[in-house]
Amino acid sequence: MSKIQILFLGAPGSGKGTQSEKITEEFHVVQISTGDMLREAVKNGTELGIIAKAFMDEGSLVTDDIIIKMMKERLQAIDCQKGFILDGFPRTVTQATALDTMLQTSLECCLTHVISLEVPDEPIIERLSGRRISPLTGKAYHVKFNPPAVNGMSEDGKTPLIHRDDDKSETIIKRLEVFHSQADMLKNYYKPSGKLHIVDGSKDPAAVYEDIRKILS
């Protein structure tokens, strides 16, 4: 199969990370999550992390210039040459335009699939408020839909799962508003390319993955 370079569009909690994990296992491509990169920078107290934290805590987008600079560096890394999944970037048309330039200059190529995972707001709120993250693997669990083997614990059975600060109620609503303010513009940006695929993300994770596999193969 030829190299895949996927972009996931979709609300926070639509299942981008969950589906990316399945794709990376089967297709051996790297997942690039701007949210994970930013959280790592916050954890390490870097200059980028200190600036980004204020935006993330209130559920707003980090400014385009910061994100574009971070992604320019990331896409130049050698592991991207085998193919990749972009999860959480671009989130604005300005970022999308910058991505096109980056792909043409550093990887001499373009996206192969743009997958929009669509889920209504109500289940999204339930997914985000019940999401718990393993600090060991970064994997997302859910208190009801995808509970860990040992209640509240990561894969080793003793390290507590994390409830992200921005997965708490007021910030969830704000993040959904921010998402809806950009979603149509982004989809319209990718429509003419013929690479945009709409996927019903409200099915169970295995069924969603089957739909994605059909698109990729």
Q: Which residues are catalytic, by number?
A: 16, 91, 131, 164, 175
Q: Decide if residue 15 touches ligand ADP (CB under 6 A).
A: yes
Beta bridge partners of 30: 84
Q: By the 8 A CB rule, do 133 and 139 touch?
A: yes
Q: How far apart are CA 7 and CA 167, in angstroms?
A: 23
195 and 9 Cβ atoms separated by less than 8 Å: no
Interface with ligand ADP in residues 126-145 (CB under 6 A): 127, 131, 140-142, 145
Say how far apart CA 123 and CA 151 lie, in whole Å. Answer: 22
- Phi, psi for 119 (deg, rounded to 5): -140, 135
Closer of 1 and 149 to ligand ADP (Cβ): 149
Q: Which residue has its beta carbon closest to ligand ADP? A: 35
- Angle subtended at Cα 126 by Cα 51 and Cα 152, rounded to the nearest 5 degrees: 80
Token digits of residue 16: 């981008």
Binding mask 195-214 for ligand ADP (x = CB under 6 A): ---------xx--x------
Stretch that binds ligand ADP, among 88-96, 101-109, 155-163, 187-195 (CB under 6 A): 88-96
Q: Does 49 bind ligand ADP (CB under 6 A)?
A: no
| Max Cα distance, the chain (Å) | 49
Cβ pair 16, 24 in contact under 8 A: no
Query: Is 91 among the residues that bind ligand ADP (CB under 6 A)?
Result: yes
88 is a contact residue toward ligand ADP (CB under 6 A)? yes
Shortest Å, Cβ 5 to ligand ADP: 17
Radius of gyration of the chain from Cα atoms? 17
Q: Smallest distance from the beta carbon of 55 to ligand ADP, in angstroms?
A: 5
Residues in the site for ligand ADP, rule: CB under 6 A? 10, 12-18, 34-35, 38, 55-56, 59-62, 67, 88-89, 91, 95, 127, 131, 140-142, 145-146, 166, 175, 204-205, 208
